[in-house]
Amino acid sequence: MPSAPRVLLVAPTTGYQVARFQAAAASAGVELILATDCCHQLEATRAQEAVPIRFDNAKAALGALKPLGPFQGITAVGDRAAVLAAQVAPGLGVRFHSAGAAAVCHDKFEFKQVVAAADLPTPWFERYKADASRHRLRRHRNTRAC
């Protein structure tokens, strides 16, 4: 009998979605391996099942995760988790977003610049400093992108 497909879920400890992913995986017959930045905030039952990693140390995370493979897929919840998943995916032999693409998604302004540079339709945008005058901000108040 073939073993169940194994999928890696990289998620923060505070992610409420983890239980939903676990339920969906169980219902689909998928073995879900949870890798998270474990801390005291994680429910005791989930902490026992989780692989403790640090989102800011891809090399150590890969070292902890690789022996648990092979993985047939990888998914992530949250910005930092997505960047780490993108960094470790090649070493785990699974496809995922590039690390650069995952990192760009942290900054909406940078993301919009990338989209515009690719000649994809994008709404008008401009970055303002937090102390920008109201007069300058009102100048664009009624401007519509579409």
End-to-end Cα spacing for the chain = 55
Per-residue pLDDT tens, the chain, 146 aa: give them.
458 899 999 998 776 788 889 899 999 999 999 999 865 454 444 445 789 999 999 999 999 999 998 999 999 998 899 999 999 999 999 999 888 888 888 888 888 998 899 999 988 888 877 765 665 555 555 554 43
Hey, what are 96's tokens?
């995922």
Report which residue type is found at 62. L
Global pTM?
0.74
Cα 82 from Cα 57, distance rounded (Å) = 13
Asked whether 84 and 25 are in contact (CB, 8 A), the reply is: no
| Domains of the chain, first to last | 6-104 (3.40.50.20), 108-138 (no CATH)
Chain Cα centroid distance, residue 89: 12
Cα 60 to Cα 39: distance, rounded to the nearest angstrom = 17
